Amino acid sequence: MKFLRNLLATILGVFIACFLLFLILIGIASVIGKSDKVIVESNSILELNFEQKIMDDYSVTNPFDELFGGKSKIMPLHKIIAAITNAKTDANIKGISIRTLGLKAGMAQTQAIRNKLLDFKESGKFITAYADYYSQKNYYLSSVADSIYVNPVGGVDLKGLAAELLFFKDFEDKYGVKMEVIRHGKYKSAVEPFIANKISDANREQMTELLQSIWTEYKEDIATSRNKTTVELDYIADSLLGRNAKLAVQNNLINKSIYLDTYTNLLKNRLGVNLEKKLNIVSLKDYIKSGKGRIKSVAKDKIAVIYAQGEIRYGEGDETYIGQEIIIKALRKAVKNKSIKAIVLRVNSPGGSGLASDLIWRELELTKTKKPLVVSMGNYAASGGYYIACNAAKIYAEPTTVTGSIGVFGLVPNFSEFTTKIGINAEQITTNRQSLGYSVFEPMHKDFYEVTLESVKDFYELFLDRVAKGRGMTRDQVNEIAQGRVWTGVQAKENGLVDALGNLDDAIAHAAELANISEYKVRNYPHYKKDLDDAFDGGFPFLKINTKVLIENEIGVENYKVLQRFKQFSELKGIQARMPFVINIK
């Protein structure tokens, strides 16, 4: 008994100590928070160092965010755009320095930032860029600068775009672990890796055209900024003529190869600062913290921007995925708020649950009868992402937005061959013919396949109807460009899936025009609020272990992506309206 008393006392003591430590940390954080006020000094340079992941929006209230750095991992795109907009007219900001190695953003997001930097240059202020080495996406962004510099032992990784697809059919045949597929649509290649061991002609066709369209945008923007032709850039990419600093300078990809200290002195000379004195640098994060991450307005009228970002899943939804419940709630709040005169739905999603997509579509139908509805597309607005976008008064897409993918599929795991090989037999007892439905331990029954295929076909036909009605097209016209085919924003405008090429600001401006207002504020939805139960879910926040990082370190980032891809598809439920592949442009 004495041992048990001592053990319980020790456990209680440890718990109390942790709790007291936690309270002390909160106190320290509150003191630091009060004194950590950002002041932008005169004659300053705004430094863009995109170390954080960029999302369209990240509106989360968590009681421990400031203490444990939860928000430091995410940078909302709209705050970046607002900060650059404010810097354009800020007398304290004399120019911008782009200093980033990695850029954790999609191509459309990167293009949106780049276009806003072009707008900044109209003020007459300078933009310079420096990196030890330029990745392809980072160079695309940095090419907007007046002057680009690189470390003497660095280079520019300009080589063109490529896609690599993994196929699992031979693996499935070997081990007996399969994904049973029910699909409809010529181009619905999300399931192709599980039913074939090489790429189909249809998939190769759409992938080639998609990459070429994005690459064309990439080349044309760089060519304009660097006074080159797209033919020259293709030659440079084919021959890897930016692979080191010397070649990059010779081919006018950069202006000069210098070390960071020399670059800093160049900036000092630009501002007329003595080389012995400190350069006034304000980081993007601090600039936003100073209040420059939003556009101030005294207008009473508002435009609501509702962010639908991530996969679409049936359920509530949070900051990482789209659930119909929280989007519907946000739409109803915006409709109910009398000061909100129009609504913009910002879609950045590869799709997902067909049921959740249709529930959101229905609420949007009700919404647009009460207030103007405009859609802005981000990196993706494909499959279910396009499903919820197609009925707006006007649809804007970035030139590199991946959209369309009007197609449907069903996917379920099956382990029957695997369990047979290892000596496991599953027996079923039922009261009716269809009682069991589907078992992962038995081969897919013909009846289940036919019923599920019927549901897939029915949803595809419904998808066609939704798009035809929303876009003012015939079902045949939609079917011609559907069947799971994906398009860039440029291609989608040509075939009628979107109305105009533009960014979120363009969509907001048009929504204001439809509402017949000229002065307005922007109100963002939804807001995700976490309470103490959420914050403590799984233990003390500062004691949590990032299992993703641990696994990545053990098996490698690329292997982890393969594991996640297989796991993702094995967890899909219901009919899916989902983009046919994952694109990662570095």
Q: Is the peptide bond prior to 443 cis by the omega test (within 30 degrees of 0)? A: no
User: Is residue 570 among the annotated active site residues?
Assistant: no
In this predicted structure, what is the pLDDT of residue 129? 98
Q: Please report, for the chain, the start and end positions of each structural domain, with discontinuous segments joined by +.
A: 44-159+240-292, 302-578
Residues sharing a CB contact under 8 Å with residue 391, sequence separation 6 or more, in sequence order: 361, 364, 365, 368, 373, 466, 469, 470
In this predicted structure, what is the pLDDT of residue 543? 45
For residue 156 the two structure tokens come to 């520019």
> Is CATH 3.90.226.10 the right assignment for the domain spanning 44-159+240-292?
yes
In this predicted structure, what is the pLDDT of residue 434? 77
In this predicted structure, what is the pLDDT of residue 534? 53
Contacts for 314-323: CB closer than 8 Å, 24+ residues apart: 314/353, 314/355, 314/356, 314/573, 314/574, 315/356, 317/526, 318/528, 319/55, 319/58, 319/59, 319/60, 319/528, 321/352, 322/349, 322/352, 322/356, 322/360, 323/356
- Give CA–CA dist 110/399, Å, rounded: 11
With CA atoms as reference, report the closest residue to 192 among 355, 411, 455, 442: 411
Q: Which of 383, 394, 416, 493 is catalytic?
A: 383
With CA atoms as reference, report the closest residue to 138 among 46, 234, 218: 218
Contacts for 70-76: CB closer than 8 Å, 24+ residues apart: 70/541, 72/285, 75/50, 75/284, 75/285, 76/293
In this predicted structure, what is the pLDDT of residue 533? 53
For residue 241 the two structure tokens come to 């003529």
Q: What angle do CA 479, 483, 489 make, to 5 degrees?
A: 85
Bridging pattern class, strands 576-578 and 351-353: antiparallel
- Give CA–CA dist 50/141, Å, rounded: 11
Q: Which fold has domain 302-578?
A: 2-enoyl-CoA Hydratase; Chain A, domain 1 (3.90.226)
User: Is residue 383 among the annotated active site residues?
Assistant: yes
Q: How many CB atoms lie within 10 A of CB 199?
A: 16
Instruction: Dump strand ranges (E) for 119-228.
Output: 126-131, 147-150, 178-184
In this predicted structure, what is the pLDDT of residue 550? 53
Greatest pairwise CA separation for the chain in angstroms: 88
Q: Which helix (H) or strand (E) holds 429?
A: none
In this predicted structure, what is the pLDDT of residue 64? 55
Surface-to-core class of residue 486, CB atoms within 10 Å of its CB (0-12 exposed, 13-18 middle, 19+ buried): buried
- Positions of the chain with pLDDT lower than 70, given as ranges: 1-36, 61-72, 184-190, 530-586
Q: Which of 188, 285, 302, 368 is catalytic?
A: 188
Three-state DSSP state, 54: strand
In this predicted structure, what is the pLDDT of residue 586? 54
Three-state DSSP state, 404: strand
With CA atoms as reference, report the closest residue to 155 among 243, 36, 218, 236: 243
- Identical fold, 44-159+240-292 and 302-578: yes
Could you tell me if 194 and 411 are in contact, meaning their C-beta atoms sit under 8 angstroms apart?
yes
